[in-house]
Amino acid sequence: MNYIQFFDMRPEVALLAVYLILFMYDLVSAGRYRRLFHPLACMLATAMVAVTLSDRSTFTLFGGMYESNAMIVFMKAVLAFGSLLAILQAHKWLRSEHTFYKQGEFYILLLSTLVGMYFMLSARHFLLLFIGIELASLPLACLVAFDKYRHNSAEAGIKYILTSMFSSAMMLYGISFLYGTTGSLYFTDMVQHITGAPMQIFAFVMFFAGLGFKISLVPFHLWTADSYQGAPTTVTAYLSVISKGAAVFTLFIVLIKVFAPMIEEWQTVIYITIVASITIANLMAIKQHFLKRFMAFSSISQAGYIMLAVIGGQADGMTAMVFYLVVYMVANMAVFAVIESIEWKIRGAVRRETCNGLYRTNPKLTLVMTLALFSLAGIPPFAGFFSKFFVFMSAFSAGFCVLVFIALINTVISLYYYLLIVKAMYMMPNEEPVPAFKCDPYIRIELILCVAGIILLGVCSFVYSGIDSISFGM
Amino acid sequence: MNILLLFVIIPAVMLLALWGSRNLRQTRAVMVAGSTLLLALSVYLTVDFISMRSAGESAPMLYTASWSWYEPLNICLSIGVDGISVAMLLLSSIIVFTGTFASWRLKPMTKEFFLWYTLLSAGVYGFFISTDLFTMFMFYETALIPMYLLIGVWGSGRKEYSAMKLTLMLMGGSAFLLMGILGIYFGSGATTMDINEIAALNNIPAEMQYIFFPLTFIGFGVLGALFPFHTWSPDGHACAPTSVSMLHAGVLMKLGGYGCFRIAMYLLPQAANDLAWIFIILTTISVVYGALSAISQTDLKYINAYSSVSHCGLVLFAILMMTRTACTGAILQMLSHGLMTALFFALIGMIYGRTHTRDIRQMRGLMKIMPFLAVGYVIAGLANLGLPGFSGFIAEMTVFVGAFSVNDTFHRVVTVIACTSIVITAVYILRVVGRILYGEPENEEHKKLTDATWDERFTVICLVICVAALGIAPMWVSDLIGTGVGDVLSNIIE
């Protein structure tokens, strides 16, 4: 074995370096150096994104277990950037009384999940894939329960870890069937033996259920609302965007690399889950009063829209999906950052009624929230419109006209509940609105990055073209 | 630098300037400067366009330009105008200009109001200049969403309900529309989304046309107040602030008619020919039912909103007749109704601002109290019921003559039915005029009211001049839109 190969995995090496530096710093720093911890983490994360983006090489390692190409590296950079946004958002929370002493743990756990996701993306062997998924899930459970003194957080952690383990077990069961029918765990070998036999369909459904939990598609979504609501807001944001993004991407890769011969079977399965996810989540979201819970259902329905890009199994779907993930990431992170800011101001959970009259006291924050919600709803000229349009286009070109129509009708429903929040902020009267306040500086940086993304990603087409030029490599 | 791009660039600059403006004075300055500039630009464009046409330019679209935007998906930023779009641009900039003055004293949050107002107008301008399906759809939706905030925050009455109803119904329409657009693009197998090139290919299979024509037509028809999808319109107009009603009834509803003509019928000609009868029946219902509903209303804005349903129904009715005269009449009706209804809503807003009621049973003898506004109202009313000399007469005449000239029983019968709306219009207009303007003032409070201020007078005079100009000298409009209507129609009628 040639150990120098390890250095080809530049994103992972960069991540490992950041990981180790932060770990050492956590051990040795004390006193006022402690205050530099957060800026250091942010700078290192930025450097990590830059290093990841600079990598463009295509290669496989370990006898084909690990693959890297421009698309995968780009996706890793997206995930790293999302983590950077989450770290920025965490500043005030990490400075608070209960979390201050375990600040280091937050970074370490966060980066551990990121390592897991990197391996999920690059894995071309089911065992490596499984290890990646586990590595991405377990630390996340710790993060969800990070505020362990809060009853909700601990409960959310338990719910997350139990469903996560359950889904992993199902996935492992599915993988074992796949191994039994194909005799290999390498993607490249397996695809030659996939015929769509009943046992393989069963295996696929099990595997899909496992990943469906991570993506939180209906009917595997039941943990989502409670975990999202209970987890610290930063972690919720991370969970709803980065963890979901990695799982969707992985699913797409497995579908086209392994299950390609049984495309008709898996398209049927995904068809049903899309319709169920979008419709049920949209209807449930209308009834939610807690914003984080509301965002949980919104994210389930958004996952349904992302799956529209997957169902065609084509290269333009890959482009549309990655673009959607990027746009969804900036918009969703912006919403959660606003929620977190308000939470710190009112010292409690944010309800829809809390937002009443917010515009009169905090116009800028409200405007950011409005832009982000409009982007999530798919209103032009914001980026969400473009990403939704492209997703619809890719599904339509694959021949799923009726599905696109159902999804389109659902966008109207989703617009309704996004507008409910806009209505609360601008129109509803409130005797005691949230007083005017200034956001944490790190959150402000995050919001600026997100708003720039929301406005520019759609109008400047080069991001899409860039993704498109590398998606054919898959 | 293409002159058409200025129609999007100027509003974009205005948005930035408004964002930076510090006080009311600066906000007003930006709005007046921007909307005047846009008005001047569209007048210049009209004059230039007519002179180019008379010099023998026969290309279907002038000032065309195209930039690749999303290359992998064949999406371009293609712009170009024919006579119809030039006329619509002129109409839009007149309404935006007068709307600025109509909301001169609007409070609170004037700056935010104008921000959304400008975004709305940017969407409208963008829609009329673009010739690419994607870009058109994008601008179309951009024009819709600011309505929610404009009505919900600055409106009156049941504003939250109306704003939500309007937004959701229009967005539902645009969901249909998006299906239609995707169907057109993939059905034609084109490597471009440019409508002229898709129309030139003309190879969408008939069975696909039968599916996607109704979707597209209804998608635009919702905005054009097509029965039974018109129910957002009365509530929305009644609750919107003055200038938003003006812009919405005056321009936004025209987007529907324009889209039906330019996209649905132009690109799906065979289905348009075969399925037109369904929509002719629906639009006939719109025309008559809208007018009848207006009779029974007591709220001034509701009366005018139902009247808009009737008149916009006439636009769709005319284009479905597919004769050159009728379609010319449709475009004239769009212009005429846009100006008249803007005048109406402006006056209603001004009267409401004084009397604080829009109920016609509570007003009497306004002619003695506010003669300027009352005379303006009479003029608007007479124009609306089609008095010769005003724009309404020309438009309705052309529509009905064109419609009746179609040589079969069905078309003639529906034309006769639709013609009854002229009489009904006279009923509800004269009823209102007689009720609120004449007689002796009864309410003591009303006797203390004052007449129009300078900004209100300016708005009214501008619009009255436009309505009269269109009525007295309609020929230049016919010159302007003749080629455009001919080109689109020649594609529809094989």
Backbone angles phi, psi at A450, to 5 degrees: -65, -45
| DSSP conformation class of B361 | G
**Shortest Cα distance, chain A CAs vs residue B433, angstroms:** 35
Q: Which residues are bridge partners to B77 per DSSP?
A: B67
Round to whole Å and give the CA distance between B192 and B73: 8
Residue B415's nearest CA partner among B312, B324, B320, B332 is: B320
Is there a contact between A117 and A241 (Cβ–Cβ < 8 Å)?
A: no
CA A144 to chain CA mean position, Å: 15
The chain A residue lying nearest B75, using CA atoms, is A461
Strand stretches in B36-97, DSSP E: 62-70, 75-81
Residue A191's nearest CA partner among A64, A55, A33 is: A64
The chain B residue lying nearest A472, using CA atoms, is B72
Is there a contact between A80 and A54 (Cβ–Cβ < 8 Å)?
A: no
Q: Which residues are bridge partners to B70 per DSSP?
A: B75
Q: Could you tell me if A196 lies within 8 Å of chain B, comparing CB atoms?
A: no
pLDDT digits (tens, 9 = 90+) for B96-151: 998 888 888 777 788 888 889 999 999 999 999 998 999 999 999 998 888 998 99
The chain B residue lying nearest A374, using CA atoms, is B145
Round to whole Å and give the CA distance between A391 and A324: 8
* Chain A residue numbers touching B159 (CB-CB < 8 A): 427
* Chain B residue numbers touching A366 (CB-CB < 8 A): none
Question: Domain range holding B116?
Answer: 3-492
Q: Which residues are bridge partners to B266 per DSSP?
A: none
Among the partner residues B138, B142, B160, nearest to A427 by beta-carbon distance:
B160
User: HSE (CB half, 13 Å, CA atoms) of A449?
Assistant: 20
Question: For an interface test with A, which of B120, B179, B181, B222 has the most A Cβ atoms less than 10 Å from its Cβ?
Answer: B179
Cis link prior to A363 (omega < 30° from 0)? no
A427·B152 Cβ contact <8 A: yes
Average pLDDT over residues B408-417: 89
- Report strand pairing: B62-70 vs B75-81: antiparallel
Is there a contact between A109 and A115 (Cβ–Cβ < 8 Å)?
A: no
Q: Which residues are bridge partners to A125 per DSSP?
A: A186
**Shortest Cα distance, chain A CAs vs residue B113, angstroms:** 12
* Chain A residue numbers touching B179 (CB-CB < 8 A): 401, 404-405, 408
Tell me what pLDDT residue A474 has.
57
CA-CA-CA-CA dihedral for A199, A201, A206, A210, to nearest 10: 150
Is there a contact between A179 and A126 (Cβ–Cβ < 8 Å)?
A: yes
Distance from the first to the final alpha carbon of chain B = 37
Which amino acid appears at position A406 of this protein? Answer: I
Tokens of A394: 């890719």
The chain A residue lying nearest B159, using CA atoms, is A427
Average pLDDT over residues B440-457: 78
Residue A326's nearest CA partner among A5, A74, A55 is: A74
SS3 content of chain A, % helix, strand, coil (to 5): 80, 0, 20
Task: Give the residue carrying structure tokens 């963008």.
Answer: B126
The chain B residue lying nearest A367, using CA atoms, is B112
Q: Which residues contact A66 (CB under 8 A, 6 or more apart)?
A: A9, A60, A119, A122, A123, A124, A125, A128
Element (H, E) at A59: strand A59-61
A465·B179 Cβ contact <8 A: no
Which amino acid appears at position B391 of this protein? Answer: S
Q: Could you tell me if B9 lies within 8 Å of chain A, comparing CB atoms?
A: no
Is there a contact between B305 and B249 (Cβ–Cβ < 8 Å)?
A: yes
Q: How many domains does chain B have?
A: 1
Round to whole Å and give the CA distance between B359 and B302: 10
- Burial (CB count <10 Å: 0-12, 13-18, 19+), residue A106: buried
Tokens of B207: 């069975």
Q: Could you tell me if A468 lies within 8 Å of chain B, comparing CB atoms?
A: yes
User: HSE (CB half, 13 Å, CA atoms) of A266?
Assistant: 29
CB neighbour burial string for A258-287, b if at least 16 within 10 angstroms, e if fewer? bbeebeebbbebbbebbbbbbbbbbebbee
CA distances from A243 to A115, A228, A373, B334 (A): 12, 13, 21, 52
- Burial (CB count <10 Å: 0-12, 13-18, 19+), residue B184: buried
pLDDT digits (tens, 9 = 90+) for B279-317: 999 999 999 999 999 988 888 888 889 998 999 899 999
Tokens of A114: 């990121």
Tell me what pLDDT residue A402 has.
92
User: HSE (CB half, 13 Å, CA atoms) of A328?
Assistant: 30
Tell me what pLDDT residue A2 has.
72
Round to whole Å and give the CA distance between B296 and B360: 11
Q: How many CB pairs under 8 A join A and B?
A: 74
Is there a contact between A18 and A42 (Cβ–Cβ < 8 Å)?
A: no
A contact residues 338-377, partner B, Cβ 8 Å cutoff = 374
CA B461 to chain CA mean position, Å: 20
Q: What is the pLDDT along chain A (474 residues), one digit of tens a residue?
A: 677 777 788 888 899 999 999 999 988 887 778 888 888 889 999 999 998 888 777 888 888 888 888 889 899 999 999 999 999 999 888 888 888 888 888 999 999 999 999 999 999 999 999 999 999 999 999 999 988 788 888 889 999 999 999 999 999 999 999 999 998 899 888 888 888 888 999 999 999 999 998 898 888 888 899 899 989 999 999 999 998 999 999 999 999 888 888 888 899 999 999 999 999 999 999 988 899 999 999 999 999 999 999 998 888 888 899 999 999 999 999 999 999 999 888 888 888 888 888 888 888 899 999 999 999 998 888 999 999 999 999 999 888 999 999 999 999 999 999 999 999 888 888 888 888 888 888 999 999 999 999 999 888 888 888 888 887 655
* Chain B residue numbers touching A392 (CB-CB < 8 A): 178, 182
Residue A450's nearest CA partner among A340, A309, A355, A294 is: A340
Tokens of A116: 């897991």
Among the partner residues A381, A426, A465, nearest to B72 by beta-carbon distance:
A465
B179·A408 Cβ contact <8 A: yes
Average pLDDT over residues B15-37: 88
pLDDT at B58 over 80: no
Is there a contact between A251 and A472 (Cβ–Cβ < 8 Å)?
A: no
A316·B70 Cβ contact <8 A: no
Tell me what pLDDT residue A38 has.
87
What are the CB-based long-range contacts (under 8 Å, 24+) for A46-51? Answer: A46/A84, A47/A14, A47/A18, A48/A11, A48/A14, A48/A15, A48/A18, A48/A80, A48/A84, A49/A77, A49/A80, A49/A81, A49/A84, A51/A10, A51/A11, A51/A14
CA A93 to chain CA mean position, Å: 21
Neighbours of B223 (CB within 10 A): 30
User: HSE (CB half, 13 Å, CA atoms) of B224?
Assistant: 33
Is there a contact between A290 and A350 (Cβ–Cβ < 8 Å)?
A: yes
> Which three-class secondary structure state does DSSP give residue B81?
strand
| DSSP conformation class of A435 | P
Q: Could you tell me if A105 lies within 8 Å of chain B, comparing CB atoms?
A: no
Distance from the first to the final alpha carbon of chain A = 27
Tell me what pLDDT residue A1 has.
61
Task: Give the residue carrying structure tokens 């200038």.
Answer: B243
* Chain A residue numbers touching B168 (CB-CB < 8 A): 412, 415-416
Among the partner residues A379, A397, A464, nearest to B145 by beta-carbon distance:
A379
- Alpha-helical (H) ranges within B356-407 are 366-369, 371-384, 391-404
Q: Could you tell me if A465 lies within 8 Å of chain B, comparing CB atoms?
A: yes
Number of H helices, E strands in chain B: 23, 2
pLDDT digits (tens, 9 = 90+) for B134-193: 999 999 999 888 899 899 888 888 888 999 999 999 999 999 999 999 999 988 887 888
Q: Which residues contact A64 (CB under 8 A, 6 or more apart)?
A: A124, A125, A186, A188
